[in-house]
Amino acid sequence: MATLLCGTIEAAAQRPQTRPSQTDDRHPVATDARLGGDERQTRLVMDLTRKIELHAFTLADPYRVVIDLPQVTFKLPPKVGETSRGLVKAFRFGLVMQGGSRMVIDTSKPVRIEKAFVLDAADGQPARLVLDLTATDRESFLRTIALDARPARTPVESKIDRDPVNKGDPRPIIVIDPGHGGIDFGTQAGGEVVEKDLVLSFGLLLRDQIEKTGKYRVVMTRSDDSFVELGDRVRMARMRKAALFISIHADSLKKGEGDAQGATVYTLSDTATDAEAARLAESENRADVIAGIDLSQEPNDVAEILIDFAQRETKLFSNHFAKTLVTELRNVARLHKHPLKSAGFKVLKSPDVPSVLIELGYVSSKQDLKALTSDTWRARTAGAIVQAIDTFFSTRLANTGRPN
Ligand SMILES: [Zn+2]
């Protein structure tokens, strides 16, 4: 972490002073946001450095208002969006894809979008996004959704198509899945360390270490700070006929939820091994809700798992890899007191790709956080995962006589 920080400062110092920050130049900046009103009518106002286009719509179960925007740099005060007011429970914002940002507003009850527009800067006031919501009943709310035509799917599918399987290369494909991204921050520790950044940098490091062996091909579900739906993460692995899927996360506990520490490896099961596993799966499965995805439009190719031979075999391989991982990780990292667990994680639902989810540790634990942000710990831990991958593939080949 310290090295990383130094690097950033150095880079900043070397940048020519005449050139302003590129991000601010290219994208409008949101500088402040506030809520006003009551339980009947609530207004959200966000200050912007210039006028932009927007598209606002509502989603049910849970009740949400989504505002799609061109890419915006959010420089809002800390904790903005965390306090409820009137009809708004909370709101969040961030990138959903390159060129596109989004705000997702959780509402306490069904609402109607009365107005949604952006005012030009005038009279010393900045450009302002204004959203007016009024309370309505569920029936009218659902009617509006039915009438509201919008594209059913995000552009992630085309991202998969652009990058087909390299047929000439016989090496097994390993999918590395850094959790969260973009508008979905994951867990946060004191506002400083964010899970989405932590798991992305670890995922990239792991990719480099795996590629260095020359034995495998690596596909990242994301290699930047963009949002990817849970179902698309699974689809990417399945379409490429991946031999292994490794999802990377970091957990966090609220005050009073205990003081668990260490890494845990999860596999898929219908019934969670314990209450903590159930809580975690529920919170990790919320990613799509957080990002304002319409769950009623989710294709069920992933949601419905057929219990067939392939899946039972996949389950055996997943469990075998999970055990191997725990053995290797034990040598280098501190593990949770029950390091092998299972629960109903959506990203682990490929019927044909052995899949595990690694919680590297708890950002809420001082000791874990220190490890998670240490270059030495990360390199060692990634090394242990590579070791487990090697063991997995060598024993798998020996057992089945089947490549990949
Ligand atoms: Zn997570």
- C-alpha 252 – ligand 1 centre gap (Å): 9
Residue 398: CB atoms within 10 A of its CB come to: 8
For residue 167, the model assigns a pLDDT of 67
- C-alpha 373 – ligand 1 centre gap (Å): 16
For residue 341, CA distances in Å to 32, 249, 266, 332 come to 42, 14, 5, 19
pTM of the model: 0.82
- C-alpha 403 – ligand 1 centre gap (Å): 32
Sorted by where each starts, the structural domains of the chain and their CATH numbers stand as: 24-147 (2.60.40.3500), 156-400 (3.40.630.40)
Beta partners for 91?
105
- C-alpha 267 – ligand 1 centre gap (Å): 14
- C-alpha 201 – ligand 1 centre gap (Å): 14
- C-alpha 357 – ligand 1 centre gap (Å): 9
For residue 91, the model assigns a pLDDT of 96
Written as tens digits, the pLDDT of the chain (404 aa) is 333 333 333 333 333 333 334 445 689 999 999 999 999 999 999 999 999 999 999 999 899 999 999 999 999 998 899 999 999 999 999 988 888 999 999 999 999 999 999 999 999 999 999 999 999 999 999 988 877 755 544 444 445 544 555 667 889 999 999 999 999 999 987 667 899 999 999 999 999 999 999 999 999 999 999 899 999 999 999 999 999 999 999 998 877 777 778 999 999 998 999 998 999 999 999 999 999 888 777 665 544 555 555 678 899 999 999 999 999 999 999 999 999 999 999 999 888 999 999 999 999 888 999 999 999 999 999 999 999 999 999 987 655 544 44
CA distance 150 to 57: 9
- C-alpha 38 – ligand 1 centre gap (Å): 34
For residue 255, the model assigns a pLDDT of 74
- C-alpha 183 – ligand 1 centre gap (Å): 13
Q: Could you identify the residue written with the tokens 């999970």? A: 322
- C-alpha 350 – ligand 1 centre gap (Å): 18
- C-alpha 210 – ligand 1 centre gap (Å): 22
- C-alpha 63 – ligand 1 centre gap (Å): 23
CA distance 106 to 86: 11
For residue 345, the model assigns a pLDDT of 94
- C-alpha 139 – ligand 1 centre gap (Å): 34
CA distance 102 to 72: 9
- C-alpha 369 – ligand 1 centre gap (Å): 15
For residue 301, the model assigns a pLDDT of 56
- C-alpha 95 – ligand 1 centre gap (Å): 17
CA distance 194 to 268: 25
Q: What are phi and psi of 264, to 5 degrees?
A: -135, 140
Question: Both tokens of residue 225?
Answer: 């700070």
- C-alpha 199 – ligand 1 centre gap (Å): 8
- C-alpha 145 – ligand 1 centre gap (Å): 30
